[in-house]
Amino acid sequence: MSKLILLEGNQRMIIETIDYRKGMVRIIDQTLLPGEEIFLNLCTLDEVAEAICSLRVRGAPAIGIAASYGMLLNLDKMLQAESAENPEYIFDREEGMNSFSFPGISIEKIRNCLLEAKKRLETTRPTAVNLFWALNRIFSVLDGEEKDPGRLCELIAREAFNIYTEEVETEIKIGKNGARYIKDGMNILTHCNAGGLATAGYGTALAVLYTAKKEGKEFSVYADETRPLLQGARLTSWELERSGIKVSVLCDNAAASLFAAGKIDIVIAGADRIAANGDVANKIGTLGLAILCKAYRKPLYIAAPLSTFDMNIESGDDIHVEQRSGDEIAYLGGRRVVPENVNIYNPAFDITPAEHISSIITERGVIENPRREQIASFIRR
């Protein structure tokens, strides 16, 4: 069983999705869940990049953390090679930075090391803005006034670890801000996985449900299986069942029948990028749920940290949607289910227009009926 970190008198459970320990990035391999709970120690930049591409680590906030840790890992390896003491590792999230001498280190070497990592990681997942936000945040440490190489390395590590700890705090606030929408007896539909596995450990959309559960509310959740990689069936149901929340899994194309039967009260989902006008990029299939919500007059809530907003993107039309390998659809359980030489359309995300979204739940508060002016004012405050 995976270890859970318990906060505030065992009232909140944080899944150990990702961490930085003793010069390695430690993740739970999400491609093996729910059958196996295997933790991997990623020791190189390429291993981190592969883990992001292969969805061993996934979800916009978790990808951002992984990206920052990938940059730190590259620096860790470079400093090990430069140190006269030949240490096993330089950085650890709990210990900080170990004290070693680096006689050959320079600001220029540090910059080149981080730039190499940044360029490599930028190629992994194009849609989730948190990845680029985290990479830029780490790289921006170089623009500060610190000129001592050793102290600069310490500041870079601190920034990477701050991204993780701030994300945990953000998720808890999102849960508190969104729990108001959950009422006793509700039936709630969610799509893909916006829980602890997609974040620093508590979640965005699922953080709202965890907080409502902690407040004593009783409700039921329907989790779309989320084709083609079944993040809802494999991951969301795994999380919710462990937390004691009643959950049922359904085929994506069964959602409309639930709406028609009056069995859905609200839909809550996460986001991978939010444009300046409020359009949301999220896992493919979210748009279909938004259209159902509009048709059946049910609210759609998006839960996401402020780091998911991209104010440089005017609308969803400008968001680059990742196209993934057709093999994800062509094969099921290792067996080919699509004939050879048939074209496959496999976008990882779709764009939900802001007009279909009732509220966006953030760590700072809730944006009701999100539109460009409201969002700009909310971000500035």
- The reply to whether 17 and 151 lie within a common domain is yes
Distances (CA, A) of 27 to 93, 289, 335: 14, 31, 28
299, 239: one domain? yes
Rounded distance between C-alpha atoms, residue 77 and residue 88, angstroms: 9
CATH number of domain containing 75: 1.20.120.420
Mark whether 163 and 200 lie in a shared domain: no
- Of the residues 272, 279, 310, 350, which is catalytic? 272
Do the Cβ atoms of 368 and 354 come closer than 8 Å? Answer: no
Q: Is the same domain home to 364 and 249?
A: yes
pLDDT in tens, 237-277: 999 999 999 999 999 999 999 999 999 999 999 999 999 99
pLDDT above 90 (res 85): no
CATH number, position 277? 3.40.50.10470
1/67: higher pLDDT: 67
At residue 169, the 3 state secondary structure works out as: helix
Pick from 133, 154, 171: which residue ends a domain?
171
What is the tally of structural domains in the chain?
2
Q: Are 351 and 315 contained in the same domain?
A: yes
* Domain, as residue range, for 371: 180-380
Helix (H) or strand (E) holding 269: strand 266-269
Please state, in angstroms and rounded to a whole number, the distance separating the CA atoms of residues 32 and 270: 22
Whether residues 139 and 221 share a domain: the answer is no
Q: Is 265 a catalytic residue?
A: no
CA distances from 355 to 85, 141, 281, 291, 299 (A): 59, 38, 14, 10, 11
**234 shares its domain with 143:** no
Residue 136 shares a structural domain with residue 281: no
Instruction: Say whether both 52 and 164 belong to one domain.
Output: yes
Last residue of a domain, one of 171, 195, 215: 171
| Statement to judge: residues 88 and 197 lie in one domain | no
Q: pLDDT tens digits for 99-115?
A: 777 778 899 999 999 99
Q: How do residues 129-156 score in pLDDT, each as one tens digit?
A: 999 999 999 999 999 999 999 999 999 9
Instruction: State whether 203 and 72 are in the same domain.
Output: no
Using DSSP bridges, classify how beta strands 246-250 and 309-310 pair: parallel, antiparallel or unpaired: unpaired
Choose the final residue of a domain: 171, 202, 221. Answer: 171
Q: Cβ neighbours of residue 224 under 8 Å, at least 6 residues apart?
A: 189, 190, 191, 192, 232, 249, 250, 251, 252, 255, 285, 289
Q: Is 73 found in the same domain as 190?
A: no
At 277-336, the pLDDT tens digits run 999 999 999 999 999 999 999 999 999 999 999 999 999 999 999 999 999 999 998 999
pTM of the prediction?
0.93
Contact call for residues 23 and 91 (beta carbons, < 8 A): yes
3-state secondary structure 318-355: HCCCCECCCHHHHEECCEECCCCCCCCCCECEEEECHH
The DSSP secondary-structure symbol of 233 reads I
